[in-house]
């Protein structure tokens, strides 16, 4: 090969490499892939980048040779006999250029790595590894689940209902709602020993980010899933890095630039015990071969206010962090254990002792930790549960409780059937101990997603169903039902519900017509109150937890309230309300 030819090829290769690197930089900035050999996506990315380099190199060589690529490869010659649109070309394959050969070899090697990696990482060859990812501790239901008369440690509200209440809480903040929206992802946390759902605000589009990026995101929404109330929390220092921000302020871009090799799994917004915001990012690593049995190995705690972060091994995560393992991952890992403990062949043929989780999960707070609850059923028949598991969302600890009874969806159908004329929808239940009876507790929601009733369903016999407008009322009705059917002793303590108006029995509520001038919400002693300012200057208040439909009240409405005087002049307490119809 002549010196000119060598220099020409070197020039083409350098130019091709520079253009390809520029393309890779732009593509990486947009797509944010993990640079990690333990993901199949990394190898496919190498294939894609190699193909891009080959294409660019071919074009550069064609331009450099005036339309002809010499020395083998694709030969492109100009046909000047018949010009068409200025030029016409004849293309013939005369051999492979060295760059093409190298590129095809890299692509073939990458495909081979992916294929062999997937095969030898699969449960076919690694069933023992998959099944041993977790350890199961058999526990005692009565010991771990003490008898209860009131539910304060179970998140009865699902995320859909949380979104509705959270959006309404934000809707009353005129200076915030026009520029921001509530994230659709609520995180279940344990905050100061009480279950809460939290979600940060997000920019409401690109132009809202442009207008507000200097100020940042001002706060977050906290929803109490037991009391069914929401509060907006304004931060002293605004959030800078959030998923809805753009360019270098985008949360995922900042995380990827800081940790280019990490395989991100979940990214949850949480707050610590002081109410400071963080994103908890779980990082995965394989436990079987190159790609198999992905499990959490490290955790990033990211401060979205200033962009600082710390990387922890999974065993060193601080106590205040709640979600390291997602409920989906917790269920998937149990299914590896439940189906593959007897070997891969047994999981397909015979399926002896094979079991799996049901298709959803609930949340329970135990010892300042969030635990997932889900039922366990045989893979051969899923009409009933053979037990249930609790999984610690921070540590990944599993507890198994052997217990035969109705599976969750049967309990949900039974609860819906109890009030079928109302058309309420049941949430996924959780398990509690009522008078030493394993019992499902769930909420029934109307078409607007508002909680209307609480329901209790006996696990062993799901025909025993009781409902109530409050937890205490539902539990009392359930105990009476069990007593009447000789399931529990007549001496069982029954705690009746408080008076319906939530106050003293001698308070007199009077029907009052009110035109609402302004609506405000405020937190008082841990409870959320709605305040209505009337056109005549009077102030009416009510605790939201007692009747969450007050969240529907808006300024300008003409209402009929049932109100009573309070100890403060011109301040009235109201309970029931309805829109007044002018006659």
Find the length of the chain: 583
CA separation for the pair 21, 50 (Å, rounded) = 11
Residue 530 lies in a domain: yes
Q: What is the pLDDT of residue 4?
A: 62
Q: What is the pLDDT of residue 545?
A: 77
Q: What is the pLDDT of residue 342?
A: 94
In a shared domain, residues 165 and 302: yes
Q: Are 470 and 497 in contact (CB under 8 A)?
A: yes
In a shared domain, residues 393 and 420: no
Tokens matching residue 223: 């929803």
CA separation for the pair 532, 513 (Å, rounded) = 12
In a shared domain, residues 297 and 352: no
Tokens matching residue 425: 């929808």
Residue 498 lies in a domain: no
CA separation for the pair 449, 427 (Å, rounded) = 10
In a shared domain, residues 479 and 549: no
Domain end point (choices 275, 298, 324): 324
Residue burial 571-580, b: 16+ Cβ < 10 Å; e: rest: ebbbbbbeee
Instruction: List all residues 6 or more positions away from 207 whose beta carbon is below 8 Å from its beta carbon.
Output: none
Residue 230 lies in a domain: yes
Tokens matching residue 314: 């999974």
Angle, helices 3-31 vs 40-64, to 10°: value is: 140
Q: What is the pLDDT of residue 163?
A: 87
Residue 106 lies in a domain: yes
In a shared domain, residues 31 and 165: no
Q: What is the pLDDT of residue 524?
A: 67
In a shared domain, residues 474 and 522: no
Q: What is the pLDDT of residue 504?
A: 43
CA separation for the pair 522, 414 (Å, rounded) = 38
Q: In which domain, by residue range, is 340 found?
A: 328-403
CA separation for the pair 77, 75 (Å, rounded) = 6
Q: Are 277 and 304 in contact (CB under 8 A)?
A: yes
**Residue 93 in 3-state DSSP?**
strand
Block residue for tokens 């799996």 = 356
Q: What is the pLDDT of residue 569?
A: 64
Residue 500 lies in a domain: no
Q: What are phi and psi of 13, to 5 degrees?
A: -65, -40
In a shared domain, residues 366 and 290: no
Domain end point (choices 121, 147, 181): 121
Instruction: Encode 34-53 in three state secondary structure.
Output: CCCCCCHHHHHHHHHHHHHH
Tokens matching residue 235: 């931060």
Block residue for tokens 């006999």 = 81
CA separation for the pair 394, 299 (Å, rounded) = 10
Residue 494 lies in a domain: no
In a shared domain, residues 15 and 110: yes
Instruction: Say how many domains are in the chain.
Output: 5
Q: Tell me, what CATH number does 541's domain have?
A: 2.40.50.1010
Tokens matching residue 470: 């409050």
Q: Per-residue confidence of the chain (583 residues) as pLDDT tens digits? A: 556 666 678 888 899 999 999 999 999 999 999 999 999 999 999 999 999 999 999 999 888 876 554 444 444 444 444 444 444 444 444 457 888 899 999 999 999 999 999 999 999 999 999 999 999 999 999 888 888 766 776 777 788 888 888 887 787 676 788 899 999 999 999 998 889 999 999 999 999 999 999 999 999 999 988 777 888 999 999 999 999 999 999 999 999 999 999 999 999 999 999 999 999 999 999 999 999 999 999 999 999 999 999 999 999 999 999 999 999 999 999 999 999 999 999 999 989 999 999 999 999 888 889 999 999 999 987 678 999 999 999 999 999 999 999 999 999 999 999 999 999 999 999 899 999 899 999 999 988 777 889 999 999 999 999 999 888 889 999 999 999 999 998 877 777 654 444 444 446 678 888 999 989 887 765 578 888 988 888 888 888 877 878 888 888 898 988 888 876 667 888 888 888 765 4
Q: What is the pLDDT of residue 89?
A: 43
In a shared domain, residues 114 and 198: no
In a shared domain, residues 298 and 174: yes
Residue 490 lies in a domain: no
Residue 128 lies in a domain: no
Helix segments in 243-357, DSSP class H = 251-258, 327-340, 344-348
Instruction: List all residues 6 or more positions away from 279 whose beta carbon is below 8 Å from its beta carbon.
Output: 241, 251, 255, 267, 268, 269, 270, 300, 301, 302, 304
In a shared domain, residues 98 and 216: no
Q: What is the pLDDT of residue 447?
A: 85
> Residues 138, 144, 147, CA angle at the centre, nearest 5°?
140
In a shared domain, residues 163 and 273: yes
Q: Are 305 and 249 in contact (CB under 8 A)?
A: no
Domain end point (choices 403, 435, 465): 403
Instruction: List all residues 6 or more positions away from 109 whose beta carbon is below 8 Å from its beta carbon.
Output: none
**Residue 298 in 3-state DSSP?**
strand
Q: What is the pLDDT of residue 301?
A: 98
Instruction: List all residues 6 or more positions away from 293 whose beta carbon is below 8 Å from its beta carbon.
Output: 121, 126, 129, 130, 133, 286, 287, 336
Q: What is the pLDDT of residue 41?
A: 96
């Amino acid at each position: 090969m002549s010196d000119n030819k060598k220099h020409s090829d070197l020039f083409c290769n350098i130019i091709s490499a520079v253009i390809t690197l520029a393309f890779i930089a732009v593509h990486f900035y947009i797509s944010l892939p993990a640079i990690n050999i333990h993901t199949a996506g990394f190898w496919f990315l190498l294939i894609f980048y190699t193909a891009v380099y080959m294409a660019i190199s071919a074009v550069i060589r064609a331009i450099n040779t005036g339309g002809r690529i010499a020395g083998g490869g694709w030969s492109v010659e100009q046909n000047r006999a018949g010009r068409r649109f200025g030029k016409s070309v004849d293309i013939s394959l005369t051999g492979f250029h060295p760059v093409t050969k190298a590129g095809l070899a890299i692509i073939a090697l990458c495909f081979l790595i992916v294929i062999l990696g997937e095969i030898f990482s699969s449960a076919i060859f690694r069933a023992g590894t998959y099944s041993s990812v977790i350890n199961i501790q058999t526990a005692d239901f009565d010991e771990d689940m003490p008898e209860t008369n009131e539910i304060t440690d179970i998140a009865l509200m699902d995320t859909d209902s949380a979104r509705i209440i959270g959006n309404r809480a934000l809707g009353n903040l005129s200076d915030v709602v026009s520029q921001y929206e509530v994230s659709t992802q609520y995180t279940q946390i344990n905050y100061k020993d009480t279950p809460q759902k939290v979600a940060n605000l997000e920019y409401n589009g690109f132009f809202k980010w442009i207008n507000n990026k200097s100020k940042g995101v001002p706060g977050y929404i906290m929803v109490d899933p037991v009391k069914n109330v929401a509060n907006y929390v304004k931060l002293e220092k605004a959030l800078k890095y959030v998923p809805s921000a753009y360019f270098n302020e985008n949360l995922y871009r900042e995380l990827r630039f800081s940790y280019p090799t990490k395989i991100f799994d979940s990214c949850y917004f949480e707050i610590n015990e002081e109410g400071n915001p963080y994103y908890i990012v779980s990082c995965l690593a394989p436990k079987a071969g190159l790609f198999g049995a992905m499990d959490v190995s490290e955790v990033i705690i990211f401060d979205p206010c200033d962009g600082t972060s710390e990387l922890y091994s999974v065993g060193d995560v601080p106590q205040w962090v709640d979600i390291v393992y997602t409920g989906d991952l917790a269920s998937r890992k149990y299914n590896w254990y439940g189906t593959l403990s007897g070997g891969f062949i047994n999981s397909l043929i015979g399926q002896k002792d094979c079991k799996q989780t049901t298709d959803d999960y609930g949340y329970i707070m135990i010892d300042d930790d969030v635990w997932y609850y889900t039922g366990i059923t045989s893979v051969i028949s899923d009409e009933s549960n053979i037990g249930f598991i609790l999984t610690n969302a921070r540590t990944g600890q599993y507890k198994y409780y052997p217990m035969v009874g109705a599976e969750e969806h049967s309990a949900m159908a039974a609860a819906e059937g109890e009030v079928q004329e109302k058309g309420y929808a049941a949430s996924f239940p959780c398990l509690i101990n009522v008078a030493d009876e394993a019992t499902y507790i769930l909420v029934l929601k109307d078409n607007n997603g508002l909680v209307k009733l609480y329901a209790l369903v006996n696990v062993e016999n799901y025909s025993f169903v009781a409902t109530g407008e409050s937890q205490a009322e539902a539990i009392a009705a359930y105990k009476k039902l069990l007593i009447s059917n000789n399931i529990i002793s007549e001496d069982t303590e029954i705690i009746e519900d408080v008076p319906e108006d939530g106050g003293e029995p001698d308070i007199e509520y009077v029907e009052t017509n009110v035109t609402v001038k302004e609506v405000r919400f405020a937190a008082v002693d841990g409870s959320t109150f709605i305040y209505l300012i009337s056109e005549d200057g009077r102030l009416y208040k009510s605790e939201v937890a007692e009747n969450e439909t007050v969240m529907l009240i808006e300024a300008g409405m003409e209402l009929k309230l049932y109100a009573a005087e309070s100890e403060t002049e011109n301040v009235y307490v109201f309970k029931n309300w309805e829109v007044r119809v002018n006659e």
